[in-house]
Amino acid sequence: MKNIFSLLKLTLLTIILFAVIYPLAIYGIAQFAPNHGKGETISVNGKVVGYQKIGQKFDKSNYFWGRPSAVDYNAAGSAGSNKGPSNAEYLALVQKRIDTFMIVHPYLKKSEIPSDMVTASGSGLDPNISPEGALIQVKRVAKERKLAEDKVKALVESKINTAVVGPETVNVLELNVALDQLSKKGSEILSR
Amino acid sequence: MNTELFGVISIFIISIVLAIPIGKYIAKVYLGDKTFLDPIFNPIEKFIFKISGINSTEEMNWKQHLKALLSINMIWFFLCFFVLLFQGSLFLNPDNNPSMSPDLAFNTAISFVVNCNLQHYSGESGVSYLSQMFLMFLQFVSAGVGMAAAAMIFTAMKERTTDKLGNFYDYFIKSCTRILLPLSVIVATVLAFSGTPMDFDSKDSITTLQGDHVDVSRGPAAAFIAIKHIGTNGGGFFGANSAHPLENPTYFTNGIELWAQLIIPFAMIFALGFYLKKKKLSYVIFGVMTVGFLLLVVPTVMSEMNGNPAIEKMGIAQTTGAMEGKEVRFGPAISGFWSIATTVISTGSVNSMHDSSMPVSGAMELLAMMVNAFYGGCGVGILNFYIFIILAVFISGLMVGRTPEFLGKKIEAREVKIAAFIAILHPLLILSGTALASYFAAHDTAMGYWFSGNATGWLNNPGHHGFSEMLYEYTSSAANNGSGFEGLGDNNPFWNITTGIVLLLSRFIPIVGPLAIAGLLANKKYIPESAGTLKTDTSIFGVMVFAVIAIIAALSFFPALALGPLAEYFTLK
């Protein structure tokens, strides 16, 4: 019996050390991190429009689109599709995504579509697409926004994150925020 | 593409290089030598032992070690079970998440106590912050228990005859405070500064750029994710684990998290060499493990980078590889590497969804857990490998007609019986579990209380892949891994209870076995090395151990692999 009490006391003390003191210490350190450890946000005109790291749904034709998502970009949860590579139902869904993509972007060849644009991400909240995934949408977005194609293309190229190691990425939210600004500037020039 | 491979190789090499000094440090901690962290931790540990009334200097024999280990684990299980069962009405629950059902609480409590972290819930909606903190406590102590068991084995391997094998509590507390805690603080700090949240706020409500309303989950994630990797636990803070952009925000943090899960399993092997002053032995062990690891990694990375042939047939170029279930910021190469690192070591965290891995990768992930001895989890990796060493010593002893000896101790019938039992237990648990579940799925049995609906309802994919989902779940449980083919509908009494039982058996019996063998051997007469001794620190003996592992794994698991991922591979053209 004495032994059990010893073990309970040991458990209590280790709980205090590892589940109270340790997280509080990290909490304290995180106060010096960007946005005090609450996740970095992106604001437009002082209003938060999203988290920099969390992908969001873009399905309007005047925006660049992100990847398909198994949770429809609902960031209250997260999940992948968990479909196996040989699942017939899943392959039919991919085929449907390709067909839809081709209807909206009739100027493309199928082989120009990178696979990340027709497959769901692991988290369902992937904030990025590949540079190719963004570049193939330039023509559509430029037309919808009545912007010069080369200007939109230059915008995409300025938003490509290159790294010393690892894949190149484009953050869809950041790109679309910049796109909104470009449109605004364009309409200001027109109205002048 | 080339920079992706460069990323993979550099992380692997950095981990090995850093494992040597950290291994030296770990050996010093267990030997009780002076280290630079003494001024901080000596008083803390003294205080803990004084208040608990535990004498940490009293030497224990192997049975006393086991008794201490098992009783404290029992206490943790009951505490955790009750926290999860009543989390809905306890404090620190800003999102008002509900309490767990008894079967889910049973599974989750066991799973975190045994260092597995199989999660049949999603972090965002399934647990309160209080539960997250309690689970995080278990991530520390369950890793500490594994390391304490390994430390006892180290002590038992010394060249002497004794039944005094150090003190369990001493090894356990020192593993937690002096090894796991400092490394976790470093990793958590890096994560917090890279964008992982560390707050106690509820979900944030935002209006997106396009005008949709969406809630965003946050929480004290950075502290949790650090120990989840350092302690090779693997349980995710969020549902999508390390594929979640807040749990693993960048390619850089992905590298840090990979390093964090590799470092202690690597370092423990070098620690063994420093501890016994037999560096050559640890190089041989590390070599065997590395060969096995690379044999699993190379095909996986290749098949992920090659992409899905079925999608290629639709006309989509697979230049960026197989991207289903993967994140763009990681890409297929490092995701493939991670999927093997996490299964070889018993971490079980994922940065891509294994259910959507290519068939070859799925087979390699399964095989990694079936072998369960290449590097392995915090401490227990060495325990599993120890069993194979005993078997290899015995078999090669018979082959060359010499008495089987390991480090100057005779291996006799009793030790070999224990080792054989442990080696058979792993396939037995995996295959009988899978057979049971497959039987129900094949007959589409109505499951009643055990599962709402018929048994095929728990599958997320048909055919061979569906079989792999069930096989993976039991393999992951028996290897105390915790990753999953997550499409499987596993939050129901059938899966919660059967995997819970597998988890318990496959954690504690493989700790009891090696501890018993080591304890028995330590008590035997020490025979100095002579010309007749079978040398165990040579590459020939390394080959022998590898052969034993390959034969045991291949013979027991090949039929199951053939029915699952291999069959899928041949159908996917």
pLDDT computed for residue B117 by the predictor: 92
How far away is chain B from the Cα of A27, in angstroms, using its nearest Cα? 6
Average the pLDDT over B298-310 and give the result. 95
Quickly tell me which residue has 């008894």 as its tokens.
B102
Q: Inter-chain contact A7–B52, Cβ cutoff 8 Å?
A: yes
Per-residue pLDDT at B274 exceeds 80: yes
Q: Inter-chain contact A30–B199, Cβ cutoff 8 Å?
A: yes
For an interface test with A, the pick among B324, B456, B486 (most A C-beta atoms closer than 10 Å) comes out as B324
**What confidence tens digit (pLDDT) does each residue in B353-374 have?**
999 999 999 999 999 999 999 9
Q: How many CB pairs under 8 A join A and B?
A: 362
Check if B508 contacts A (Cβ < 8 Å).
no
Of B176, B185, B357, the CB nearest to A25: B185
pLDDT computed for residue B445 by the predictor: 92
Which B positions 190-209 lie with beta carbon below 8 A of chain A? 192-193, 195, 197-201, 203-204, 206-209
CA distance A72 to A81: 11
Check if B177 contacts A (Cβ < 8 Å).
yes
* Contact of B214 with B220, CB cutoff 8 Å: no
- The lowest-confidence range among A174-188, B50-64, B192-206, B339-353 is A174-188
CA distance B201 to A20: 16
Of B216, B328, B356, the CB nearest to A169: B328
pLDDT cut 70: percent of chain B above it? 100
Name every chain A residue with its beta carbon within 8 A of the beta carbon of B243.
Answer: 78, 80, 121-123
Average the pLDDT over B53-69 and give the result. 93
pLDDT computed for residue B532 by the predictor: 76
Per-residue pLDDT at B329 exceeds 60: yes
Question: Mean pLDDT, chain B, as a whole number?
Answer: 94
Of B206, B245, B356, the CB nearest to A48: B206
Per-residue pLDDT at B343 exceeds 90: yes
Secondary structure letter of residue A71 according to DSSP: T
Per-residue pLDDT at A85 exceeds 80: yes
Map out the domains of chain A as residue ranges. 1-38, 41-191
* Contact of B188 with B225, CB cutoff 8 Å: yes
Backbone phi, then psi, for A169, in 5-degree steps?
-135, 160
**What confidence tens digit (pLDDT) does each residue in B382-409 have?**
999 999 999 999 999 888 888 888 999 9
For an interface test with A, the pick among B122, B228, B327, B572 (most A C-beta atoms closer than 10 Å) comes out as B327
What SS3 state is found at B82? helix
Residues in CB range of B17: below 8 A, 6 or more apart: none
pLDDT computed for residue A1 by the predictor: 53
Average the pLDDT over B402-430 and give the result. 93
Name every chain A residue with its beta carbon within 8 A of the beta carbon of B201.
Answer: 38
Secondary structure letter of residue A138 according to DSSP: H
CA distance A84 to B460: 9
Residue B403 Rama label (left phi>0; alpha psi -120 to 50; beta): beta
Burial class (CB in 10 A: 0-12, 13-18, 19+), B555: exposed
Report the run of H or E that residue A169 belongs to, with start and end.
Answer: strand A169-171
- CA-nearest residue to A52 within chain B is B195
CA distance B298 to B339: 12
Tell me which long-range contacts B98-105 makes (C-beta under 8 A, separation of at least 24).
B100/B126, B100/B127, B103/B492, B103/B493, B103/B496, B103/B497, B103/B500, B104/B491, B104/B496, B105/B81
Check if B222 contacts A (Cβ < 8 Å).
yes
Q: Inter-chain contact B568–A84, Cβ cutoff 8 Å?
A: yes
Which B positions 3-62 lie with beta carbon below 8 A of chain A? 3-4, 6-7, 10, 44, 47-48, 51-54
pLDDT computed for residue B436 by the predictor: 96
Q: Inter-chain contact B214–A3, Cβ cutoff 8 Å?
A: no
Q: Which of B345, B349, B286 is nearest to B479 (CA)?
A: B345
Q: Inter-chain contact A80–B141, Cβ cutoff 8 Å?
A: no
How far away is chain A from the Cα of B106, in angstroms, using its nearest Cα? 20
B213 DSSP β-pair partners: B207
Per-residue pLDDT at B1 exceeds 60: no
